[in-house]
Structure 1
């Protein structure tokens, strides 16, 4: 009996130690679980907020992800979103807080199924704003009456831009050259783009193929270049610029006057650069049998 009593006495401290360790472990696990639960709750709340920010009404046909309300924008403006609009085309209009239009540009989202949302991810250059704040309008034109619809307005702040490049693009003008009496006559309009030491010629052509803004069109400016034309590349050798476009440049083009006007717009836009004295136009690498009257 005495031996059993001694064994029981020796076991008691061990049991007590195990109990203490067990309780301690349970407390640690409880605290960890509490922290883990709080962490998960915080993440769920955060994700829910993000989800709420990105949710749009089903009826909204132009959904803008970037920029967001109150964002500061630089040059160029970067836009990101998705659209479900007539003919897969809509307009972006940038205004300062006085309501002055400083840029208006047609946007064609990526191609996709009709009636489905298609992604757009573009960069837009714009003229210098007169105010520190403004807003961007995203909208499409109604196929019924031409009115503006599906409009989304995003208030923004214009960030100061130190390095800019002012380029000229050339368009026809029905007021200065009525009835296109001289088909080769084109007139310059300034475009402001982010400064780049190289590829200035590419920047100029990219702005040219966008065409005049609505405000410029009201002043008689027009382009003879098809909408949606893409520049493949420009190579400059010994003063000659070889400018290569896709097939859209000559799609549906007819008549010697229009062909002359297209060539004049491209040539004069490129000859503003001192290292270019001659321009050769190519379509998908070909120079023969292109832009025929």
Structure 2
């Protein structure tokens, strides 16, 4: 399935999910409101979701004079891979991590934290940036960014259902008595659905991006070492201000290992990722 078809599929799936939850909370009127809201979200997330995510993490665009080392690495990799040069952003955060975003390779951005720049060697940082460029090359960054925006909106619906149950009136938009069981169901279903969406699009993407990134930079061992260091760095200093809705976008889950159990993590086990990269080196 092409990424264009995947994007359309996820947009449709999320619209249906919105309508279902809206119907549970507000009846037919709630379903109609959810449909209108989802259509608006589809349009908005396609054009602006990347900017939302970058702003969420206070990412600052840097030019070649401000971050010559990062630009040198990215420029070399894009020239080697025949990829358009993305915009480069830095996030002032000690937690080591990175992500790519944008709706297509011509409108893409890579963002790295100051923590990852301080932690990694040049070869290891090149491996990480090659991984992120592989996401751009694979044209899967739009899906990830849209999923992040929608996952955040789904969580908002769950919170709305909770407060509606606590403070809301006893009637929905159809003039019927509200069903507290439905509100509770929405509170449970919405976060689980958001998590399942993230897991569905993230785990396989990371293996593919690892392999493509390792081939792009020609240093699978360096990327493996980078993942090992990032894993230790995240465990020691998780990104406290990270949003669960965007966790799947990062090269490593930004939360501590305790919060990201393998079974429910948005990323595959780091040990398996490292083993596959070391096998490529061999």
TM-score class, shorter: under 0.3
What TM-score comes out, normalization by structure 2 length?
Answer: 0.26
Q: More strand per residue: 1 or 2? A: 1
Higher relative contact order (CA 8 A, sep 6+): 2
Return the index of the structure with the highest Cα Rg: 1
